[in-house]
């Protein structure tokens, strides 16, 4: 496992982290197997774990609590997120800060996450949605400053709405944000335009989420793929999205190097960008952990292949199903 310095925090974090959304609340999750997969990731050098209160109302945080307790001798970094008070994902331009992240609510959910995680200090607390129009409002600034002074949070971050990487730039410029979590993969390359250069300039940590485009870049979906009604992907992969996603993934197949899988190529594409400090695939089985963490071996994609993959950028705009 290779490690990168996580912006101005100075933390040395594994360049493959662990996205914990799929560990609770998705179909096919088995807690015992999840804990084995998590432990295997630690044994292989993963030290960055990203969860959220909203992942099954704290259940995912409690799973991370167990992992931390099982590894008291390891430096593991716990990142979580405050859910929007109005439970609207993503936030909308007309959303008011007072309805989404009022000061007392920021404190309340930080306390909830501290309890669920079983820690005295959260390494990285993130806002689970964001609107850049809130950047100049004082309420959130005062709340996070107080929590930091109390020693309850070490660093603060934004989880940027899907396909809206620029909806964070003024907030990052406040100097109060230590890290940003953004969708970045072979298709979603637009963070390279404005967000990554700003993070580089201000030494802000970058977490690349959704490395497999919610599964499209695993190469396993077809236009006949379906999901159970209680799985959120059933509302995300509407026919319009599924059909187009499969077409875009199929166009990549001729580019996959011999002996490599599409997921491995997708991870190595992300890791080829030094502006990214970690990427957080979701992994529910040991075999996925072993396959994904193997991408952190220092072997980069060839410049020619990277250039070809640049041509597969797919600029999308938020829709009613993009969540």
Per-residue pLDDT reduced to its tens digit, 249-288: 999 999 999 999 999 999 999 999 999 999 999 998 899 9
- For residue 9, the model assigns a pLDDT of 98
- Cα-Cα-Cα-Cα dihedral sign, residues 112, 59, 211, 289: positive
Does position 23 have pLDDT exceeding 80, yes or no? no
Q: Which stretches of 94-194 are DSSP H helices?
A: 97-100, 103-117, 138-149, 169-172
How far apart CA 121 and CA 147 sit, in angstroms, is: 10
- Residue 216 banded pLDDT, cuts 50, 70, 90: very high
Helix (H, G, I), strand (E, B) or coil at 218: helix
Q: How far is CA 215 from CA 60, 182, 266, 280, in A?
A: 20, 16, 11, 13
User: Cβ distance 295 to 283 under 8 Å?
Assistant: no
Q: What pTM, to 2 d.p., does this model score?
A: 0.96
Task: Produce one character per residue of 78-99: b if its CB has 16 or more CB atoms within 10 Å, e if not.
Answer: bbbbbbbbeeebbbeeebebee
Does position 24 have pLDDT exceeding 70, yes or no? no
Q: For 276, phi and psi rounded to 5 degrees?
A: -90, 130
- For residue 305, the model assigns a pLDDT of 98
Q: What is the mean pLDDT of residues 189-209?
A: 98
Task: Name the average pLDDT for the chain.
Answer: 95
- Residue 31 banded pLDDT, cuts 50, 70, 90: confident
Maximum Cα–Cα distance across the chain:
54
- Residue 25 banded pLDDT, cuts 50, 70, 90: low
Q: How far is CA 155 from CA 8, 94, 104, 130, in A?
A: 10, 28, 19, 17
Q: What is the mean pLDDT of residues 67-77?
A: 97
Owner of token pair 């072979």 = 186
Per-residue pLDDT reduced to its tens digit, 286-320: 999 999 999 999 988 999 999 999 999 999 999 88
Q: How far is CA 108 from CA 10, 82, 114, 123, 225, in A?
A: 28, 9, 10, 17, 40
- For residue 32, the model assigns a pLDDT of 81
């Amino acid at each position: 496992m290779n490690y990168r310095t996580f912006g101005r925090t100075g933390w040395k974090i594994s360049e493959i982290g662990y996205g914990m959304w799929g560990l609770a609340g998705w179909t096919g999750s088995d807690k015992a197997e999840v804990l084995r997969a998590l432990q295997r990731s630690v044994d292989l050098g993963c030290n960055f774990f990203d969860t959220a209160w909203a992942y099954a109302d704290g259940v995912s945080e409690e799973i991370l609590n167990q992992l931390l307790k099982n590894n008291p001798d390891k430096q593991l970094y716990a990142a979580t997120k405050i859910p929007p008070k109005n439970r609207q994902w993503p936030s909308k331009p007309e959303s008011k800060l007072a309805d989404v992240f009022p000061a007392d609510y920021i404190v309340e959910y930080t306390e909830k996450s501290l309890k669920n995680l079983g820690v005295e200090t959260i390494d990285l607390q993130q806002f689970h949605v964001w609107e850049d129009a809130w950047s100049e409002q004082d309420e959130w600034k005062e709340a996070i400053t107080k929590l930091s002074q109390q020693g309850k949070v070490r660093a603060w971050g934004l989880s940027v709405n899907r396909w809206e990487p620029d909806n964070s730039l003024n907030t990052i410029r406040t100097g109060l944000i230590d890290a940003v979590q953004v969708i970045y993969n072979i298709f979603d390359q637009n963070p390279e335009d404005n967000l990554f250069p700003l993070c580089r300039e201000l030494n802000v940590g970058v977490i690349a989420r959704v490395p497999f485009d919610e599964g499209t870049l695993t190469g396993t979906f077809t236009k006949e793929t379906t999901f159970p009604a209680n799985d959120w992907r059933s509302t995300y992969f509407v026919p319009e999205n599924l059909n187009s996603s499969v077409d875009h993934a199929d166009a990549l197949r001729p580019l996959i190097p011999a002996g490599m899988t599409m997921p491995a190529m997708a991870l190595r594409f992300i890791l080829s960008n030094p502006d990214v400090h970690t990427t957080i695939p979701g992994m529910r089985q040991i075999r996925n952990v072993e396959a994904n963490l193997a991408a952190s071996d220092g072997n980069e994609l060839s410049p020619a292949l990277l250039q070809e993959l640049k041509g597969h950028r797919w600029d999308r705009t938020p829709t009613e199903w993009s969540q």
